[in-house]
Structure 1
């Protein structure tokens, strides 16, 4: 009898210990669909709220198109934090959530294609509390303007074998999820048991293209440009159009090519047209450099070697030290100030994501501490808040303000009429980026630099400022042979054994305005691949694989 009692009660005791070992009391599982699918990943078309989610909504097959809304809803027995605690019971709750998260494994036709340990900072949207929630929804693809880590992860899956595996036809697509912990760089990843898994049949069909999608788009009248008659390889451009239409180059909205000051190519994609105002994000920073050059030229600012103490009483801001006094405008133009600000490092106090929610972006920047490891002008580090400071300095130094000055001094001479600024919380034009224009207007701006500051026979911007801007002022760390000028980037591309150097404006999503030094070319590429790893590499592909072969044949 004692032996029987032992067999009966020992498992119950073990269960009690396991339950008591949880860090957090999980949300009560009340939903019947959840109860029926614990340990499963279900697939659904779009974001169906849990309280509306029905068994009939769970997909068994799905035609995966470029524009689609494939979502998953994950049903777990426990919360993410509790699963991590089981892996590393000695870690504090705070340390747990900074050392691990979930591991996603992707299979196609029962073959493991890609595994990713998602960053510890990845959350699960509303209703996805890591401590208590046992279910969450993430989009793998979306047409709703969502910007989730899961969509980037799905893109990485496709780029790391998924695209090759998902050929035309039907494929069994499976996802497995496990918890993982990684304490530091020297410690291997520790992975837990399977939390949830699910599969769906994906149907893949290559879209059929029309002749209009493939052909070189004719340049319509009234472009405000003289049309180039210079011959180019149209078949190369047709191949480019096929690649964009097939979504092998993604979210491209326009390509404009200017040769010898004349419009050679003007093409639009993905519902954009000549009148579309493109949000080219940080490509707008380069306009700040232009306006600074004009303000120096017109005597509103002495030169770029002036320091911040000329424009601000720095002692009135937090974290004052003498080192702050010596920051030059040039340091901000070359992204080499010693502010403790870096958009590259997520944990940097001066990261732009910390600036945007603040009430005063200028105050945010000037309150930042100095980085003890940096010297002013000594090290490149991308720092958006520094460009906001430049905009504020310009706005204060020009009697009628920066917005009117830009309109009269830059846009009007170039006949740029279609544009839209964003603004800081203080209603000053946002020099950090997102100055929206049409592609042809961006081309005028870039061609001004190609013309050494001359437009329609009139010197708009001084050649001296353009020379300084197009000087390799500072090396970009960890990028071979890439440099930075005055809020312009610099790199070299190789084609058929020759190297061609160019300066360019660049913005999130793969947006680039390219000005070649030796070649008589200006290229505008606009794209909406925001926060996608493939954004800028796509621009390199367009230039190197299609445009240069087409025009340098």
Structure 2
């Protein structure tokens, strides 16, 4: 009855509202958030440009949705409908997006006739829905369409309703606007004006005096500083155990503590190898039933109890958790709000439909691995890692993040400076040896750097023990690397057939360009400059 009263109220309200205008509203573009700010045209679009838009609508969006689906209640409309954005370059449609109903907010769709948002906000740390729309546009034709020179950018907005039975219904144009552009996104780098940093010796890392293509690295540095590659904070290269390149950007320096997110998972792999060496774990084939009474958790099954440490190390357990699937019950975003991450993971059902041994990215499984380590090693995970790994490497300034149980968080997020991350990579390249001491068993490094699982959807990419694997083609030759990778574009790369370790840190968290731009940096600049 309540929903019926709501529907009757909505319909009666619409009866007294004036008819919707047949004249589309205007979209005004500006270079700053102020809706009434003037913008000179053509607007020069550079890698560091900001671009905002303001939409003047005749009515709030919900009225247009009611016109599309008469008789449908407001709550349902707001769940099924939203704006459709169409972006054109030179009158050619490049990208069209039916915005997810979650953004903008329901209140905005009920109340607002003025919509003012950024398309590009260069210095933002937390992009909003409109910026993601622009990024999708760039990834789906916009980047190739916006070549250097003059162009016309056009935007059109329509309402849409996605009825689960009738499908998507799109309304008439409700707003439009255009902006003449002068695209200048490829700056000319004057290498004579770019100075490369001269690395200083660092504890455990002498400086290399070997050569590399300095001009290519200067062009890379110039492009990062010009904003072509965004939110990069550092690049360091170790060749033959010596520091050869060390550059910092966007306010960071040698002392900066970088939040490298899931790069930290690979540290859990290293500590696992040490715990096996010291006898605190018996084998990677040990099942979870050796560490937990799985009957005490939800969805008990014999298969879940027999899940091995190796399955957690290779992201191939049968737990119903997949961070790449928003609908997965074990997605990491469902874990973080809980007050016990290990319980969250062990409560998950076993997915009997998953291919046995199939790879799926499962952060909660690495949390369980960290808890196993914490339970078994003397003094707990944090103290053991400090004594067995960090202090022998000369790493004394670092920060763990913690689980709700105050255990070092192996899901990711350990923070340290760039040279110390490089030393971790070099340890693996040296087969676990550091300054004459075997810190990590060579056999463990070999097992870690083994292609245990194929990564679905990627061409010739594999997964070891919490390390990724791929091969780069440079100057007609193949160069294989195992690497740690983290949200934002963070990497420690250890090359197998050439003595290179590369560290890249970045803060492009949750942004679609984060990892592709690092791949471009590696393929087009760093590796060609360093390899014969």
Aligned residue number for residue 5 of structure 1 = none
Q: Distance in 2 between matches of 1:67 and 1:141?
A: 9
| 1:495 paired residue among 458, 461, 474 | 474
Q: Is the 8 A contact 1:38 1:75 kept in 2?
A: no
Q: Distance in 2 between matches of 1:73 and 1:537?
A: 30
| 1:103 paired residue among 49, 70, 84 | 84
| 1:258 paired residue among 211, 228, 238 | 238
Aligned residue number for residue 41 of structure 1 = 27
Deviations along 1:256-280, whole A, 9 cap, x unmatched?
1111111111111222211111111
Instruction: Check 1:418–1:23 CA distance in 2 against 1; reply closer, same or farther (3 A cut).
Output: farther
The Cα of 1:418 is off from its aligned counterpart by 2.7
Instruction: Check 1:195–1:372 CA distance in 2 against 1; reply closer, same or farther (3 A cut).
Output: farther
Instruction: Check 1:378–1:445 CA distance in 2 against 1; reply closer, same or farther (3 A cut).
Output: same
Aligned residue number for residue 246 of structure 1 = 226
**1:419 partner SS:** coil
Q: How does 1:108-507 map to 2 (within 5 A)?
A: 108=89, 110-112=90-92, 114-120=94-100, 122-124=102-104, 128-130=107-109, 134-142=113-121, 143-163=123-143, 173-181=153-161, 190-200=169-179, 214-222=194-202, 224-374=204-354, 378-507=357-486
Structure 1 window deviating more from structure 2 (323-332 vs 216-225): it is: 216-225
Q: Give the gaps of 5 or more residues in structure 1.
A: 1-18, 30-34
Aligned length: 518
Deviations along 1:475-522, whole A, 9 cap, x unmatched?
111111111111110111112332221111011122111111111111
Q: Give the gaps of 5 or more residues in structure 2.
A: 1-6
Deviations along 1:305-336, whole A, 9 cap, x unmatched?
11222222222222222222111111111111
The Cα of 1:205 is off from its aligned counterpart by 5.9
Q: CA RMSD in A?
A: 3.4
Aligned residue number for residue 53 of structure 2 = 72
Q: Is the 8 A contact 1:339 1:368 kept in 2?
A: yes
Q: Is the 8 A contact 1:98 1:120 kept in 2?
A: no
Q: Distance in 2 between matches of 1:90 and 1:485?
A: 56
Q: Distance in 1 between matches of 2:50 and 2:259?
A: 24
Q: Distance in 1 between matches of 2:310 and 2:299?
A: 22
Q: Distance in 1 between matches of 2:296 and 2:33?
A: 49
Deviations along 1:401-452, whole A, 9 cap, x unmatched?
1111111111100011232211112211111111111111110000100000
Q: Distance in 1 between matches of 2:189 and 2:243?
A: 27
Structure 1 window deviating more from structure 2 (515-524 vs 489-498): it is: 489-498
Q: Is the 8 A contact 1:280 1:435 kept in 2?
A: yes
Q: Distance in 2 between matches of 1:504 and 1:264?
A: 19
Q: Is the 8 A contact 1:213 1:245 kept in 2?
A: no
Instruction: Check 1:69–1:90 CA distance in 2 against 1; reply closer, same or farther (3 A cut).
Output: same
Aligned residue number for residue 15 of structure 1 = none
Structure 1 window deviating more from structure 2 (202-211 vs 67-76): it is: 202-211
Q: Distance in 1 between matches of 2:453 and 2:485?
A: 17
Q: Is the 8 A contact 1:343 1:351 kept in 2?
A: yes
Q: Distance in 2 between matches of 1:42 and 1:97?
A: 26
Structure 1 window deviating more from structure 2 (517-526 vs 397-406): it is: 397-406
TM normalised by structure 1 equals 0.84
The Cα of 1:173 is off from its aligned counterpart by 3.9
Instruction: Check 1:468–1:82 CA distance in 2 against 1; reply closer, same or farther (3 A cut).
Output: farther
Instruction: Check 1:315–1:239 CA distance in 2 against 1; reply closer, same or farther (3 A cut).
Output: same
Give yes or no for the alignment of 1:516 onto 2:502: no
Instruction: Check 1:355–1:72 CA distance in 2 against 1; reply closer, same or farther (3 A cut).
Output: farther
The Cα of 1:24 is off from its aligned counterpart by 11
Aligned residue number for residue 552 of structure 1 = 531
TM normalised by structure 2 equals 0.87
